[in-house]
Copies of this chain bind each other. A is one copy, B any other.
C-alpha cells in the first residue's frame, strides 16, 4: 500500500518497462533551443534524455522563471499535464543538441492499464516530484541568491559547466546582472 521503493530514474524506467514497448517508444534528436512543450499546451509526451540537456521554465509576460535543468538519464515530463490533460504551466526546451526517447501519452496510459506495478511507480513518481518541487521552492524562498549560487557551484557541476549564465540567473530568481555581481563580490 505504502510505497517504499525508490523513485525510478529514466534509465531504470526504460530497463524495467522498455520491453513492454515494442513500438511505442521513439528516439529523436533535436538541436539546441528546440521547444519540446509549449506552456499552455497539453503535454502528450514523456521524455528520457539519452544525451544532452533540457530546461523547464514558466513564462510570465516579461520574464522567465527557470525551474529545472535536466541531463542524461533523466525522465522529463509535465506529468500532471499529461495525466489530467490540463494546460502545462511550463515550457520545455533543449539547451544543447539532445538525443531523446519519447513515450507518447497513449502508450503511457495503455501501459498503465496493463500494469498495476507501473501505476504504483507512477504514483510514487508524482509524490516524489511533488516533494522535490517543494524543496526547490522552499530553498528559493529561504536561501539568498548568493547562498543558492554557492550551493550550485558545490553540488551541481553540470549546471555550472553546461548552462549559460543568464539561464542560471533565471533559475536563481535574479537578473544576469545581479548574478555577475554575486560571482565577483569581494
Please report A residues at the B interface, Cβ cutoff 8 Å.
1-4, 58, 60, 63, 65, 80, 83-86, 89, 109, 112-113, 123-124, 126-131, 133-135, 137-138, 140-142, 173
Task: Determine the residue in chain B with the shortest Cβ distance to A85.
Answer: B2
Task: Give which listed residue, B60, B124, B135, contacts A142 with CB less than 8 A.
Answer: B60
Q: Kindly provide the distance from the CB of A60 to the nearest chain B CB, expressed in whole angstroms.
A: 4
Query: What residues of chain B lie closer than 8 Å to A85, measured between beta carbons?
Result: 2, 4
Task: Give which listed residue, B3, B60, B63, B112, contacts A83 with CB less than 8 A.
Answer: B3
Tell me if A's interface is mostly helix, strand, loop or mixed.
Answer: helix
Contact A133 B131 (CB under 8 A): no
**Can you sample 20 A-B contacts with CB below 8 Å?**
A2-B84, A2-B85, A65-B141, A65-B142, A80-B127, A80-B130, A80-B131, A84-B124, A84-B127, A89-B131, A89-B134, A89-B138, A126-B130, A130-B130, A130-B133, A133-B133, A133-B134, A133-B137, A137-B140, A140-B141
Task: Determine the residue in chain B with the shortest Cβ distance to A82.
Answer: B2
Q: Kindly provide the distance from the CB of A85 to the nearest chain B CB, expressed in whole angstroms.
A: 5
Task: Determine the residue in chain B with the shortest Cβ distance to A59.
Answer: B142
Query: What residues of chain B lie closer than 8 Å to A133, measured between beta carbons?
Result: 130, 133-134, 137
Known contacts A130-B130, A133-B133; is A112 also within 8 Å of B1 by CB?
A: yes
Q: Kindly provide the distance from the CB of A115 to the nearest chain B CB, expressed in whole angstroms.
A: 13
Query: What residues of chain B lie closer than 8 Å to A2, measured between beta carbons?
Result: 83-85, 109
